[in-house]
Structure formats: structure tokens, C-alpha cells
Amino acid sequence: MKSEAPDLITFGESMALFMPPEHRALERAVSLEQGFGGAESNVAIGAARLGVSVGWFGALGDDPFGHMIVKALRGEGVDVSRAKLSSEASTGLMFRESVAGRLAVHYYRSNSAASQMAPEDLNEDYIRGSKLLHVTGITMALSESCRRTVLRAVEIAKEAGVPVSFDPNLRLKLWPIEEARETLLPMAAQADYFLPGWDELQLLYETSDWEHVKARLSELKAISIVKSKDDQTVVLNKGKMDTIPFYPADNVVDTVGAGDGFCSGFLSGIVKGMSPVEAVRLASVTGSLAVQMRGDWEALPTWQAAAQRLDGKVWVER
């Protein structure tokens, strides 16, 4: 079964994305740019560009948007052989706009094909044959059946000795914080790699006291990768704490893909055999490059581009 499964597997909802050109507000836009996005598929694309064998699966509508997403992922080198196109539900949609200089996202994903995923949709051998399973809190927020699907996928992975990575990806437009806490904190306790942001931890643990949060994280078996803590990333690993500064971004254009870019770099580093600290250094580069172009995943770098920056080599423009 090993030969049939990619090294890294993730799953969730990908949506068609529409946004006005030139950072305009939706109500004043006369045209919209089309793309797609989703935390898990963004991570899959990033890992594929870094040379990692990666698969993404989920449910999409058997509609133009679903076909567009599958074709694009396949074109990026992501295995989509386990993705499903539903004739009974549509692909989710999201719209992004700029309101008073700040980003606003509007979801149209209720009753989408992805929200109807169920544990019986999982290909268990596919998960068992991988080297790393990555799941997010977004999928768990979509529906009760999605929540059960994530829990079952993690159970399959753990039974097979496959490490589990978990990014809470807290989205308060999808569920209230009280419900999120009840679901995400137990999931963090099952993970081997836990990748929260500092802002998320303050909401989940109901405190901004770093020492208290650090003590809570130390209770987990997971290696915790805390993003955006004082312009650096904190790695907590079996009682040891390392801090890695952000890799500078030359030209910040769109911050939406930063977290997924970071995650793709970290997971790729782990699959490539790097230590957690080395993987975070790679993640800092991929996260930095991800924000320098418009879109959720378009600016994610190739391994050559990321390695060049890790090595400190000068960029040759012409």
C-alpha cells in the first residue's frame, strides 16, 4: 500500500474564489477575478512545489468550479485521485474584498459538497500508506459529519503509526469560540505536530499570559509550533524552547496565504527529514514568499527558490 499513497496527505474543502481587481469593494466592482482556495489544498500545492509527494482529497460539486479546482491541483502535481465530485451538492464559494483598507471574506459554503463528507468516504489504505497526515480545524467546523470524518482519519493514521499534524485554523465565521474550544483542544491533544498562531492560542486558552499558555502546551505530547509570537516562531519540543525570527518579506501584497505557506514549508521540511527547527526556517521562507503576490497560493515557491533563500544566495534579476 505504501507505493499507492503520497508521503503527505491532507483533506478538506476547497472553494471557488472571486475578488474584485485593484483591491476594490465588492459592491463597487464591475468585474471579478476567479481563482480558488482552501487551507488544505493551499498546503498541498505548496508542498508539491517544494518537491514533496502530496495528495489532497475532499468533496467538490460536479460543476465548473469543482472541475476547475481538480484540474488546477492535478496540474500543480498534487494527487487528487481520491477527490470526489458530487452531483447532489455544489462547490463552495468565497468572495474577498477590501473594506476600509482591511480584508473581508464572505463564505457561501453551507450545504456544500465538502460539508457533507462522512467517515465512510475515507480511503483507509490511502491514509495508512502515507508518512504524514495533516488536518485542520476548518474541516471540523463545516459540519458534524465532517468532524467525525477528521476524527476517523486521525484514528486510522494513529493505528497505522502515521504522524498527525494539526493546524487549528480558527475561523469564527464558521462557529462560536465555545464550540471551537470543545473540539480543537482535544484534537491538539492527539496531534504529533500542533501548529497554532499566538492569536489563536489566546482565544483557545482564554489568556494572553504566555507562561500559562506555554505550560498548557507542554502538557501535550505534540511538538508545538507557535506562529507569530513577537515577530518570531516558537518551537516547543519536549521541554525545550527555540525561537526562529520571521524571514523578511520584501513586498507584502496579500497576507491571506501566509499561514498556509508557512504550514506547507514546515510539513515539507518534516517529510524531507529536517528537524522541527530546520523545518520552521524553511516555513519562514515559504510564508514570507507567499504574501508577495495576490491570491491564496499563487506565490508559493518552488524548492529551488526556497533553498536559494535558505542558503542566502543573491537573486539574479537578469
Residue entry with cell 465588492: 26
* pLDDT tens-place string over residues 264-278: 999 999 999 999 999
Q: What is the mean pLDDT of the chain?
A: 93
DSSP code for 176: -
For the chain, give the percent of residues with pLDDT over 90. 80
Least confident of 43-47, 61-65, 254-258: 254-258
184, pLDDT greater than 90:
yes
* pLDDT tens-place string over residues 68-100: 999 999 999 999 999 999 999 999 999 999 887
198 confidence band (pLDDT: 50, 70, 90): very high
260 is catalytic: yes
CA-CA-CA-CA torsion for 219, 129, 135, 193, nearest 10 degrees? 30
**Which of 7, 254, 260, 296 is flagged as catalytic?**
260
Q: What is d(CA 247, CA 284) in angstroms, rounded to the nearest whole number?
A: 5
pLDDT for 33? 93
* pLDDT tens-place string over residues 299-310: 899 999 999 888
**pLDDT (average), residues 42-66:** 98
**pLDDT (average), residues 166-194:** 97
2, pLDDT greater than 50:
no
Q: What is d(CA 275, CA 252) in angstroms, rounded to the nearest whole number?
A: 28
pLDDT for 254? 65
pLDDT for 317? 46
pLDDT for 253? 67
pLDDT for 313? 61
Q: Are 168 and 200 in contact (CB under 8 A)?
A: yes
- The most distant pair of C-alpha atoms in the chain lies apart, rounded to whole Å, by 55
1, pLDDT greater than 60:
no
* pLDDT tens-place string over residues 103-160: 889 999 999 999 999 999 999 999 999 999 999 999 999 999 999 999 999 999 999 9
**pLDDT (average), residues 32-61:** 97
* pLDDT tens-place string over residues 229-255: 998 999 999 889 999 998 877 777 666
282, pLDDT greater than 80:
yes
For the chain, give the percent of residues with pLDDT over 70. 96
Q: Residue length, the chain?
A: 318
| Identity at 26, one-letter amino acid code | L
